[in-house]
């Protein structure tokens, strides 16, 4: 706190100037450290956006609405669609919302009765997905950006072009 000029203080109580230390030059010390201001891009590197873990919470809340067939695991579906929703949200730099999950679920027909060939495909893709990071990354990487730009209404009903939507 500053001292008023009209109040006498002793020399030992005077405010002393602080020392300005020069910062050491930055040295990259970890293999995973980013060397440039831009995020790296490519298969398996992920898609960076704020609060992507929130998509898991939303997926868990929506799990009661999933239309699953025998042999499909709700936890695997939750993880898969949460990751797709995180990527969709990251395209525009925001956190995932329920609409991102509706798009991810609609792409694979988890909110309605889906065609048999789509069900057979998604069973293979989502099989043990929650336990395999490489499979998770592969699933998210295969979805085209054009699909992620669709609205929930665009994927609300089964589509004949589902292979194009999922990047199969």
Q: What is the pLDDT of residues 40-90, one digit of tens each?
A: 677 766 677 778 889 999 999 999 999 889 989 999 999 999 999 999 998
Task: Encode pLDDT of 112-165 as tens digits.
Answer: 888 888 899 989 999 998 899 989 988 998 999 899 999 998 888 877 788 888
Q: What are the C-alpha distances in Å from 140 to residues 8, 29, 52, 58? A: 70, 30, 13, 18
139/107 Cα distance (integer angstroms): 12
CA nearest neighbour of 85 among 112, 57, 43: 57
- Looking at residue 70, what is its pLDDT? 92
SS3 10: coil
C-alpha to C-alpha distances, 29 to 10, 25, 34, 37, 112, nearest whole angstrom: 48, 12, 10, 16, 50
How far, in Å, CA of 16 to CA of 67, rounded? 70
Look at 33 and 126; give whichever has higher pLDDT.
126
pLDDT at 2 over 90: no
pLDDT value at residue 19: 65
Rounded to whole angstroms, the Cα distance separating 33 from 41 reads 14
Output 25 or 78, whichever has higher pLDDT: 78
Q: What is the pLDDT of residue 115?
A: 86
Q: Which of 1-5, 20-24, 61-65, 94-98 has the lowest mean pLDDT?
A: 20-24
CA angle, 80 as apex, 74 and 86 as ends, to 5°?
A: 130
Q: Give the pLDDT score at 20.
A: 65
Task: Specify which of 2-16, 38-52, 87-101 reaches the highest per-range mean pLDDT.
Answer: 87-101
Q: Answer whether 139's CB lies under 8 Å from 107's CB.
A: no
State residue 62's pLDDT score: 92
CB atoms within 10 A of CB 108: 24
């Amino acid at each position: 706190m500053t001292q008023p000029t009209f109040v006498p203080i002793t020399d030992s109580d005077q405010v002393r100037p602080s020392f300005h230390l020069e910062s050491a030059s930055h040295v990259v010390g970890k293999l995973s450290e980013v060397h440039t201001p831009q995020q790296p891009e490519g298969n398996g590197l992920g898609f960076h956006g704020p609060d992507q873990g929130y998509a898991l919470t939303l997926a868990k809340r929506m799990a009661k609405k999933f239309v699953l067939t025998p042999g499909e695991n709700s936890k695997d579906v939750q993880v898969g669609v949460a990751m797709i929703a995180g990527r969709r949200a990251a395209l525009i730099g925001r956190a995932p919302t329920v609409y991102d999950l509706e798009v991810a679920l609609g792409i694979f027909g988890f909110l309605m009765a889906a065609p048999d060939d789509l069900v057979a495909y998604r069973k293979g893709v989502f099989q043990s997905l929650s336990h395999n990071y490489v499979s998770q990354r592969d699933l998210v990487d295969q979805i085209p950006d054009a699909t992620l730009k669709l609205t929930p209404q665009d994927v609300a009903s089964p589509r004949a072009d589902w292979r194009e939507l999922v990047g199969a």
